Amino acid sequence: MSETILHATNLRRTFSEAGRELHVLRGVDLTVRRGEWLSILGRSGSGKSTLLHLIGGLDRPTSGRVVFNDETDIFTLRGAKLDRYRNAHVGLVFQQYHLMPELNALENVLIGAMLGRGLLAWPGHRRQARERAEQLLARVGLSERLTHRPNKLSGGERQRVAIARALINRPQVLLADEPTGNLDIDTSASIMELFHDLHREGQTLVMVTHDHAVAKTGDRTVTLSKGKLAGD
Amino acid sequence: MYKLLLISKYLRRKLAPLFAAVSVSFCTAMVIIVVSVMGGFLGLMRTTAKTLTGDVIVQSQFTTGFPHYDDLTERLDNLEGVELATPVVEAFGLMRLSNNDQVVQVRGIRPGEMSRIIGYEGSLLWTGQDYADAHYGDLDVATRGKIAERFDLMLAGKTLTQPALMQVLLSDVAANRLRSALQEDAGLRDAFRPTLGALLLGDREGRLSDELLRTWLAEPEAEELVLLRLRGTLLLDPGLLDTPGFPAFDDAAAMVIGVAVNRYQRRDREGQYHFVDPETGYINSAAGTRASITLVPFSPRGELAFEPVRREIGIANEFKSGFYETDQNVVYVPLGWLQEQLQMQRSEDIDASTADPFTGEGGTVSITPARVHQIVVKAEPGQDTDELAARVRRVVEAFSEDHDDVSSMALTTITWEQKHGALLGAVQNEKGLVTFLFAIISIVAIVMVATTFYMIVLEKTRDIGVLRAIGAPATGVLGLFLTYGLAIGVLGTGLGVWFGWAVVTNLNHIQDALANRMATLVAVVAMAFFAALAVTVAVAVLRRRRQREFSIGAGVLLFFAVCVLLFTGVYYGFPSIDIPALASTDARIGWRMWDPQTYYFERIPDQVEWSEVLWIAVGAVVSSVVGAAIPAIIAATLNPIEALRYE
């Protein structure tokens, strides 16, 4: 196993809007090592979310590469393989939680596992996946809330469900985009506590934040400014 | 698997797709109802047209008809695949019935043979008992029974001849013959004495003297009265017919008329005919009475060579073919009788110029063979009509070649379908057009599904983004919405097929209820509907109050279940439901969507053609998927990041 999980080289992302070119990332180089907790600090609009989306395979860069596990540039992956990367190798946590309102907590977690299996393969994995989902929800302190739908959960609880969902397929990297941005101080602290625990258990974490205090909890902080990374 | 999970959740928690399903249901039901009724209508028409016509018809283009038909009939009878062939003479006549003149189509037939071809005997309406009960209701049951026997209208209809009693009673000629027979035959007088004595003197002891009787019979002034009394005698004692010396009457021709030819006949609200009008008490039926027919004979050369002939003829019975056009226009008479009236029978002419001028003998005898207008052919079961027509055509060609005087008659062979082509084609066109129109209307369902799905895609944009973010492929999102459309389609179509089937098979019940008990029906249906609504709302409120979950899907399901339960109760209980307050409203209002008084058939066709339903169902499901396709493509091509940012 390599020390480096993700290696981004010269990432550039330019958006065109109303005929104007908006250079959000202007050549970012970034390395994420196995087991580390990397915080990317930056102001609003500095491009930190864009960087996270690129690493997570949600978006494609204007130029540059992201090599995963020293093997492949994920942007050379086509369709289904890139979907597979997002599903199995990275886990995404968003500021707005992005849970599905029709599904209860358990189903919201399970859906990530379902995505990786076909209709026919699913019954064979159902029990195992369900056990894992229940474990994860218990792990984030929601074992009593399995059948609650998101509208019956508090913000902190929703974020915990979202974290459980991100972890269901045992991703090598957990990508979190301002995970405490919508939460009050106490709840934020408990979420950060959870991240700490996960990190202690060996989970690699990449967290984007605008909050210096939050960023400091990580092993290492990089700052994104004017589309470039400043200092390690 | 996630697709199924999400679809099942979306179906249960969203009202909009259920509306889409309902619109698919109604469109499906609508097309099924239209296709079934129009198809049933066409089917009925075809069956009726075929049963009324025979399978293949050989006909002459000319009013004069064609000769040597016995030869052709025999050849056709011997043709493989032919069950029976029978000649028919067809003419138009002016019929006068109870001071009512009208043009009728007079068909001269051999009733026995015709019956095997068009089921003519089965269409006869009245029995002798109907006649006896209607006309002689004041006589005792036993006597009416005897009259019914003598007036066997069924038999008269089957043979197209009148029974002797009927003839005597109906024609002055026959009654006069009886009168002279009585004057001459002492034995016959003795037989008649008791009944006639009872009639004339109110005494059955035979005290009516022979002399008084003879004087009475010879009374010229009282002719009308004498004939009337003689008829009364026979009516009271039909056994007198068997008396030795009773004048013999030949089988006289009689006709059977279409029941609607008789303008006094009318259908009740259920489309049924009655011998005696149940409302007015008038005798509607003309069976057992007389009518006159005026016919115009044509010479063999097709000239109007003869004076029109007017003939009195008894009406043996009335028939109901089930096809109003026929019932309104056609009368059947015996073939030979009609040939005679139209001068189409075999005749011998002696050319006077070639005869011996002194003795008047010898002259050249020219024979004109009898003629008919058509030969109706019945195919053996399972015989293909077109194929048979082709073989009949070859036989007709050979026949024309063998007879010089036939070749110019331009015989044509047509099938029953060609004969009724205009009418059947019209109905077929109508069905096609209506189906097309309703299919167009069904596009509404597709648009409805498309709109609903577009709204769902907009609402679910963030979910789509999430799904993509956690690894769902674009094709997965496409599949999700297409499968969703399929689920809506299957659900809607299933309901629609059930609803369409329920409506079609109960159309006649529904129309009866609408026509006779509209107010009660509306009241009961409204009550059931609101009761279901009330139950649903009550359950929802109760569950909410107890902080229990109660989804929209559950509500809709509960509402449907209660509706089905209550409507089933209404359906089976309706005949016994009686709301006295609404009885007068029921009597006043009412809507008959299919009036059997004015339509060809009495009942609305109520058969569902399942092969057609299958196509309609497939069409409806495909339409739903097509309706979902564009929104599904939009969903699949959404940029995941933009989708996640969507507010």
pLDDT tens figures, B211-223: 888 888 888 777 7
Asked whether the beta carbons of residue B465 and residue A83 sit closer than 8 angstroms, the reply is: no
What six digits make up the tokens of A111?
Answer: 């859906």
**Probe site for chain B from A24, A25, A84, A86 (most B CB atoms < 10 A):** A86
Nearest chain B Cα to A55, which residue?
B469
In a domain, A96, yes or no: yes
Separation CA B517–CA B534 (nearest Å)? 25
The average pLDDT across B478-503 equals 90
- Output the domain CATH number for residue A187: 3.40.50.300
Per-domain boundaries in chain B: 1-50+424-506+606-641, 507-605
Separation CA B8–CA B23 (nearest Å)? 19
Separation CA B561–CA B563 (nearest Å)? 5
Which residues of chain A are within 8 Å of residue B472 when distances are taken between CB atoms? 83, 87, 115
pLDDT band at B301 (very low <50, low <70, confident <90, very high): low
Asked whether the beta carbons of residue A92 and residue B472 sit closer than 8 angstroms, the reply is: no
In a domain, A14, yes or no: no
Which residues of chain A are within 8 Å of residue B641 when distances are taken between CB atoms? 53, 58-59
Separation CA A1–CA A24 (nearest Å)? 33
Q: Which residue has the higher pLDDT, B407 or B263?
A: B263
List pLDDT tens digits, range B33-82.
888 888 888 888 887 777 777 889 998 877 788 888 889 999 999 988 88
> In sequence order, which ranges of B16-120 are alpha helices (DSSP H)?
16-53, 69-78, 111-118
Pairing relation of β-strands B161-162 and B252-258? antiparallel
Return the residue matching tokens 């889409």. B20
Separation CA B2–CA A118 (nearest Å)? 9
Asked whether the beta carbons of residue B474 and residue A79 sit closer than 8 angstroms, the reply is: yes
Amino acid at A55: I
Q: Which residue has the higher pLDDT, A26 or B424?
A: A26
Return the residue matching tokens 């393989």. A81
What six digits make up the tokens of B52?
Answer: 């009324």
Nearest chain A Cα to B477, which residue?
A115
In a domain, A63, yes or no: no
Indicate the Cα dihedral angle A49, A50, A51, A56, nearest 10°.
90
- Tens digit of pLDDT at every position of chain A (232 positions): 458 889 999 999 998 887 888 888 888 999 999 999 999 998 888 888 899 999 998 888 999 999 998 888 888 888 788 888 988 899 999 888 889 888 889 999 998 888 877 778 888 888 888 999 998 899 888 888 888 989 889 888 998 899 899 989 889 999 999 888 888 888 888 888 888 988 998 999 999 998 888 888 888 999 998 888 876 5
In a domain, A65, yes or no: no
Residue A41 pairs in a beta bridge with A209, A223
CA dist list (Å): A41 to A46, A84, A172, A224: 9, 28, 21, 6
What six digits make up the tokens of B570?
Answer: 């209404």
Q: How many CB atoms lie within 10 A of CB B549?
A: 10
Asked whether the beta carbons of residue B9 and residue A102 sit closer than 8 angstroms, the reply is: yes
Asked whether the beta carbons of residue A58 and residue B462 sit closer than 8 angstroms, the reply is: no
Residue B57 pairs in a beta bridge with B376, B414
Size of interface A-B (CB pairs under 8 A): 73
Chain B window 444-503: which residues touch A at a Cβ cutoff of 8 Å?
A: 462-463, 465-474, 476
Q: Cβ of B269 under 8 Å from any chain A Cβ?
A: no
Pairing relation of β-strands A90-93 and A72-73? unpaired
In a domain, A181, yes or no: yes
Cα first-last separation, chain A: 24
Q: Residue B20 burial (CB < 10 Å; 0-12/13-18/19+)? A: buried
**Probe site for chain A from B4, B463, B466 (most A CB atoms < 10 A):** B466
Which residues of chain B are within 8 Å of residue A94 when distances are taken between CB atoms? 469, 644
CA dist list (Å): B513 to B15, B170, B509, B588: 33, 45, 6, 13
In a domain, A47, yes or no: yes
Separation CA A156–CA A145 (nearest Å)? 13
What six digits make up the tokens of B218?
Answer: 């010879």
What is residue B302's three-state secondary structure?
Answer: coil
In a domain, A23, yes or no: no
Asked whether the beta carbons of residue A86 and residue B462 sit closer than 8 angstroms, the reply is: no
Distance between A226 CA and the closest CA of chain B, angstroms? 21
Q: How many Cα atoms occupy the beta-carbon half-sphere of A78 within 13 Å? A: 0
Q: For helices B474-505 and B421-459, what crossing angle results, to 10°?
A: 140
> How many distinct structural domains can be found in chain A?
1
The average pLDDT across B532-557 equals 84
CB of B26 closer than 8 Å to CB of A118: no
Asked whether the beta carbons of residue B471 and residue A83 sit closer than 8 angstroms, the reply is: yes
Q: Following DSSP, what letter does each residue of A126-174 receive, concatenated?
A: HHHHHHHHHHHHHHTT-TT-TT--GGGS-HHHHHHHHHHHHHTT--SEE
Q: Of A53, A92, A102, which is closest to B13 when you measure between CB atoms?
A: A102
Which residues of chain A are within 8 Å of residue B465 when distances are taken between CB atoms? 98
Confidence at residue B598, expressed as pLDDT on a 0 to 100 scale: 62
Confidence at residue A142, expressed as pLDDT on a 0 to 100 scale: 87
Q: Residue B593 burial (CB < 10 Å; 0-12/13-18/19+)? A: exposed
Is residue B412 within a helix (H) or strand (E), and if so which, with residue range?
strand B411-415
Is residue A14 within a helix (H) or strand (E), and if so which, with residue range?
strand A4-17
Confidence at residue B255, expressed as pLDDT on a 0 to 100 scale: 92
Q: E-assigned strands of B78-218? A: 82-97, 100-109, 161-162
CB of B61 closer than 8 Å to CB of B410: yes
Nearest chain A Cα to B13, which residue?
A102
Which residues of chain A are within 8 Å of residue B2 when distances are taken between CB atoms? 111, 114-115
Which residues of chain A are within 8 Å of residue B469 when distances are taken between CB atoms? 56, 58, 86, 92, 94, 98
Q: Of A83, A92, A94, which is closest to B473 when you measure between CB atoms?
A: A83
Return the residue matching tokens 């005929």. A19
Separation CA B11–CA B9 (nearest Å)? 5
List pLDDT tens digits, range B156-206.
888 888 887 788 888 888 888 888 888 888 888 888 888 888 877 776 666
Asked whether the beta carbons of residue A79 and residue B4 sit closer than 8 angstroms, the reply is: no
In a domain, A7, yes or no: no
Q: What range defines the domain where residue A102 resides?
A: 36-58+77-230
Long-range contacts of B181-188 (CB under 8 A, 24+ apart): B181/B245, B181/B246, B181/B247, B182/B213, B182/B217, B182/B230, B183/B214, B183/B217, B183/B218, B185/B245, B186/B210, B187/B243, B187/B244, B187/B245, B188/B243, B188/B244, B188/B245, B188/B246
